[in-house]
Amino acid sequence: MTVTEKVLQVKNFLQKTPIFENIIDEQLQAVANIAILQTYKKNETLFWEGDEATGFFIVKSGRIKVFKVANNGKEQILHIFGIEEYFAEVPAFDGGNFPASAAAIETSEVVFIPRTAFLMVLQQHPTLAIAMLGTFARHLRQLTHLVDTLSFQEVPERLTNYLLKLSKRNDNINVIELDLPKTQLAALLGTVPETLSRAFYKLSQEGKIEVNGTKITLSDEILTPRSN
Protein backbone atom coordinates (compact mmCIF):
# COMPACT_ATOMS: atom_id res chain seq x y z
CA MET A 1 0.00 0.00 0.00
CA THR A 2 1.41 3.39 -1.01
CA VAL A 3 1.65 6.37 1.34
CA THR A 4 -1.20 8.07 -0.53
CA GLU A 5 -3.41 5.02 -0.13
CA LYS A 6 -2.63 4.82 3.60
CA VAL A 7 -3.52 8.48 4.08
CA LEU A 8 -6.80 7.96 2.20
CA GLN A 9 -7.57 4.92 4.33
CA VAL A 10 -6.97 6.92 7.52
CA LYS A 11 -9.03 9.82 6.21
CA ASN A 12 -11.99 7.56 5.43
CA PHE A 13 -11.75 6.07 8.91
CA LEU A 14 -11.48 9.43 10.68
CA GLN A 15 -14.58 10.65 8.88
CA LYS A 16 -16.62 8.01 10.73
CA THR A 17 -15.30 8.82 14.19
CA PRO A 18 -17.28 10.97 16.65
CA ILE A 19 -14.36 13.34 17.14
CA PHE A 20 -14.02 14.25 13.44
CA GLU A 21 -17.32 13.28 11.82
CA ASN A 22 -18.59 16.85 11.33
CA ILE A 23 -15.47 18.62 10.09
CA ILE A 24 -15.00 19.72 6.50
CA ASP A 25 -12.94 17.76 3.97
CA GLU A 26 -9.98 20.14 3.98
CA GLN A 27 -9.59 19.89 7.75
CA LEU A 28 -9.99 16.11 7.68
CA GLN A 29 -7.28 15.82 5.03
CA ALA A 30 -4.93 17.94 7.14
CA VAL A 31 -5.43 15.61 10.13
CA ALA A 32 -5.05 12.46 8.00
CA ASN A 33 -1.74 13.78 6.65
CA ILE A 34 -0.19 13.82 10.14
CA ALA A 35 -1.82 10.67 11.53
CA ILE A 36 0.27 7.58 12.30
CA LEU A 37 -1.08 4.02 12.36
CA GLN A 38 0.20 1.96 15.30
CA THR A 39 -0.41 -1.68 16.24
CA TYR A 40 -0.24 -3.08 19.79
CA LYS A 41 -0.32 -6.70 20.91
CA LYS A 42 -2.54 -7.95 23.72
CA ASN A 43 -1.43 -6.49 27.09
CA GLU A 44 1.10 -4.20 25.38
CA THR A 45 1.29 -0.72 26.93
CA LEU A 46 0.67 2.40 24.85
CA PHE A 47 1.90 4.72 27.60
CA TRP A 48 2.38 4.86 31.37
CA GLU A 49 1.01 7.39 33.82
CA GLY A 50 3.51 10.25 34.05
CA ASP A 51 4.89 9.83 30.52
CA GLU A 52 5.03 12.94 28.38
CA ALA A 53 1.78 13.33 26.41
CA THR A 54 3.03 13.42 22.83
CA GLY A 55 -0.38 13.06 21.23
CA PHE A 56 -3.77 11.36 21.40
CA PHE A 57 -5.25 8.14 20.03
CA ILE A 58 -8.28 6.83 18.15
CA VAL A 59 -9.06 3.12 18.20
CA LYS A 60 -9.23 1.62 14.70
CA SER A 61 -9.61 -2.00 15.83
CA GLY A 62 -9.52 -3.88 19.12
CA ARG A 63 -9.98 -2.36 22.59
CA ILE A 64 -7.79 -0.20 24.83
CA LYS A 65 -8.10 0.18 28.59
CA VAL A 66 -7.10 3.37 30.37
CA PHE A 67 -6.25 2.64 34.00
CA LYS A 68 -4.49 3.71 37.18
CA VAL A 69 -2.55 1.53 39.61
CA ALA A 70 -2.62 2.22 43.35
CA ASN A 71 0.46 1.94 45.56
CA ASN A 72 -0.77 -1.47 46.73
CA GLY A 73 -0.88 -2.69 43.13
CA LYS A 74 -4.68 -2.58 42.75
CA GLU A 75 -5.74 -1.59 39.26
CA GLN A 76 -8.71 0.69 38.57
CA ILE A 77 -9.84 0.73 34.95
CA LEU A 78 -11.17 4.19 34.18
CA HIS A 79 -12.60 3.36 30.79
CA ILE A 80 -12.39 0.85 27.95
CA PHE A 81 -12.28 2.38 24.49
CA GLY A 82 -13.48 0.52 21.42
CA ILE A 83 -13.53 1.13 17.67
CA GLU A 84 -13.83 4.81 16.62
CA GLU A 85 -13.44 6.04 20.21
CA TYR A 86 -10.64 8.43 21.17
CA PHE A 87 -8.63 9.04 24.33
CA ALA A 88 -5.75 11.04 25.86
CA GLU A 89 -6.75 14.21 24.02
CA VAL A 90 -6.72 16.44 27.12
CA PRO A 91 -3.04 15.98 28.10
CA ALA A 92 -2.17 16.18 24.42
CA PHE A 93 -3.71 19.65 24.39
CA ASP A 94 -2.44 21.05 27.67
CA GLY A 95 1.10 19.74 27.24
CA GLY A 96 1.13 17.88 30.55
CA ASN A 97 1.91 14.26 31.27
CA PHE A 98 -0.51 11.38 30.86
CA PRO A 99 -2.60 11.22 34.08
CA ALA A 100 -3.21 7.48 33.65
CA SER A 101 -1.82 4.49 31.75
CA ALA A 102 -3.18 2.71 28.66
CA ALA A 103 -2.78 -0.86 27.39
CA ALA A 104 -4.32 -3.07 24.73
CA ILE A 105 -6.88 -5.60 25.98
CA GLU A 106 -6.50 -7.47 22.70
CA THR A 107 -4.44 -6.96 19.56
CA SER A 108 -5.39 -3.44 18.53
CA GLU A 109 -4.66 -0.83 15.89
CA VAL A 110 -4.85 2.86 16.75
CA VAL A 111 -4.51 6.10 14.87
CA PHE A 112 -2.00 8.28 16.71
CA ILE A 113 -2.31 12.07 16.28
CA PRO A 114 1.00 13.75 17.28
CA ARG A 115 0.53 16.78 19.51
CA THR A 116 2.97 19.22 17.88
CA ALA A 117 1.76 18.55 14.34
CA PHE A 118 -1.89 18.68 15.43
CA LEU A 119 -1.43 22.07 17.11
CA MET A 120 -0.04 23.37 13.83
CA VAL A 121 -3.14 22.05 12.04
CA LEU A 122 -5.34 23.85 14.58
CA GLN A 123 -3.50 27.11 13.91
CA GLN A 124 -4.23 26.70 10.22
CA HIS A 125 -7.86 25.64 10.83
CA PRO A 126 -9.14 27.51 13.93
CA THR A 127 -12.72 26.24 13.53
CA LEU A 128 -11.42 22.72 14.12
CA ALA A 129 -10.37 23.78 17.63
CA ILE A 130 -13.94 24.87 18.36
CA ALA A 131 -15.24 21.48 17.24
CA MET A 132 -12.79 19.81 19.62
CA LEU A 133 -14.38 21.46 22.65
CA GLY A 134 -17.26 19.01 22.45
CA THR A 135 -14.83 16.12 22.95
CA PHE A 136 -13.68 17.52 26.28
CA ALA A 137 -17.28 17.85 27.45
CA ARG A 138 -18.11 14.24 26.56
CA HIS A 139 -15.13 12.81 28.43
CA LEU A 140 -15.81 15.06 31.43
CA ARG A 141 -19.31 13.56 31.59
CA GLN A 142 -17.82 10.06 31.48
CA LEU A 143 -15.46 10.87 34.34
CA THR A 144 -18.31 12.38 36.39
CA HIS A 145 -20.38 9.24 35.80
CA LEU A 146 -17.46 7.07 36.98
CA VAL A 147 -17.10 9.09 40.19
CA ASP A 148 -20.85 8.81 40.86
CA THR A 149 -20.80 5.07 40.21
CA LEU A 150 -17.87 4.35 42.53
CA SER A 151 -19.18 6.69 45.23
CA PHE A 152 -22.87 5.82 45.38
CA GLN A 153 -23.38 2.32 43.95
CA GLU A 154 -22.65 -0.99 45.61
CA VAL A 155 -20.84 -3.64 43.56
CA PRO A 156 -24.00 -5.67 42.70
CA GLU A 157 -25.61 -2.53 41.29
CA ARG A 158 -22.49 -1.66 39.28
CA LEU A 159 -22.44 -5.21 37.93
CA THR A 160 -26.14 -5.05 37.04
CA ASN A 161 -25.65 -1.81 35.12
CA TYR A 162 -22.68 -3.27 33.26
CA LEU A 163 -24.65 -6.36 32.25
CA LEU A 164 -27.51 -4.18 31.07
CA LYS A 165 -25.07 -2.15 28.99
CA LEU A 166 -23.80 -5.34 27.35
CA SER A 167 -27.37 -6.38 26.63
CA LYS A 168 -28.21 -3.01 25.12
CA ARG A 169 -25.08 -3.15 22.96
CA ASN A 170 -26.36 -6.48 21.60
CA ASP A 171 -29.90 -5.34 20.72
CA ASN A 172 -31.34 -5.92 24.20
CA ILE A 173 -30.89 -9.68 24.17
CA ASN A 174 -31.27 -11.48 27.49
CA VAL A 175 -28.35 -13.92 27.01
CA ILE A 176 -25.02 -12.14 26.86
CA GLU A 177 -21.38 -13.14 27.02
CA LEU A 178 -18.88 -11.34 29.22
CA ASP A 179 -16.44 -9.40 27.06
CA LEU A 180 -13.76 -9.14 29.75
CA PRO A 181 -11.95 -11.58 32.05
CA LYS A 182 -13.35 -11.28 35.56
CA THR A 183 -10.11 -9.77 36.86
CA GLN A 184 -10.41 -6.90 34.38
CA LEU A 185 -14.15 -6.59 34.93
CA ALA A 186 -13.48 -6.23 38.65
CA ALA A 187 -10.94 -3.50 37.95
CA LEU A 188 -13.43 -1.71 35.70
CA LEU A 189 -16.12 -1.86 38.41
CA GLY A 190 -13.75 -0.60 41.10
CA THR A 191 -13.55 -3.79 43.13
CA VAL A 192 -11.54 -7.02 43.47
CA PRO A 193 -12.31 -10.43 41.89
CA GLU A 194 -13.49 -11.96 45.18
CA THR A 195 -16.06 -9.20 45.74
CA LEU A 196 -17.16 -9.43 42.12
CA SER A 197 -17.73 -13.18 42.54
CA ARG A 198 -19.91 -12.48 45.57
CA ALA A 199 -21.90 -9.95 43.50
CA PHE A 200 -22.48 -12.57 40.79
CA TYR A 201 -23.59 -15.02 43.47
CA LYS A 202 -25.94 -12.50 45.08
CA LEU A 203 -27.64 -11.67 41.76
CA SER A 204 -27.92 -15.39 40.99
CA GLN A 205 -29.49 -16.15 44.39
CA GLU A 206 -31.99 -13.33 43.84
CA GLY A 207 -32.99 -14.87 40.52
CA LYS A 208 -31.87 -11.85 38.53
CA ILE A 209 -29.24 -13.69 36.48
CA GLU A 210 -28.13 -17.22 35.60
CA VAL A 211 -24.42 -17.80 35.14
CA ASN A 212 -23.02 -20.46 32.84
CA GLY A 213 -19.31 -19.83 32.43
CA THR A 214 -18.97 -16.55 30.55
CA LYS A 215 -22.60 -16.62 29.41
CA ILE A 216 -25.07 -14.67 31.53
CA THR A 217 -28.86 -14.93 31.24
CA LEU A 218 -30.68 -11.83 32.44
CA SER A 219 -34.13 -12.21 33.97
CA ASP A 220 -37.14 -10.16 32.92
CA GLU A 221 -36.93 -8.44 36.30
CA ILE A 222 -33.50 -7.04 35.53
CA LEU A 223 -34.38 -6.10 31.93
CA THR A 224 -37.73 -4.41 32.61
CA PRO A 225 -36.42 -1.07 34.02
CA ARG A 226 -34.72 -0.24 30.73
CA SER A 227 -38.01 -0.38 28.82
CA ASN A 228 -39.71 2.16 31.12
Cα–Cα dist 2/17, whole Å: 23
> Quick one: pLDDT at residue 130?
76
pTM confidence score:
0.80
pLDDT at 165: 87
- Rounded to the nearest 10 degrees, the angle between the axes of helix 126-152 and helix 25-34 is 70
* pLDDT for the residue 227: 42
User: What was the pLDDT predicted at 228?
Assistant: 42
User: Tens digit of pLDDT for each residue in 23-40?
Assistant: 889 999 999 999 999 999
Which pLDDT does position 218 carry in this prediction? 93
Mean pLDDT in order along the chain per 10 residues (228 residues): 84 90 88 96 96 94 94 88 90 85 97 94 84 71 72 86 88 88 90 93 93 91 63
pLDDT digits (tens, 9 = 90+) for 130-176: 777 777 677 677 777 777 766 778 999 999 989 998 888 888 788 99
User: What is the end-to-end Cα distance of the chain in Å, rounded?
Assistant: 50
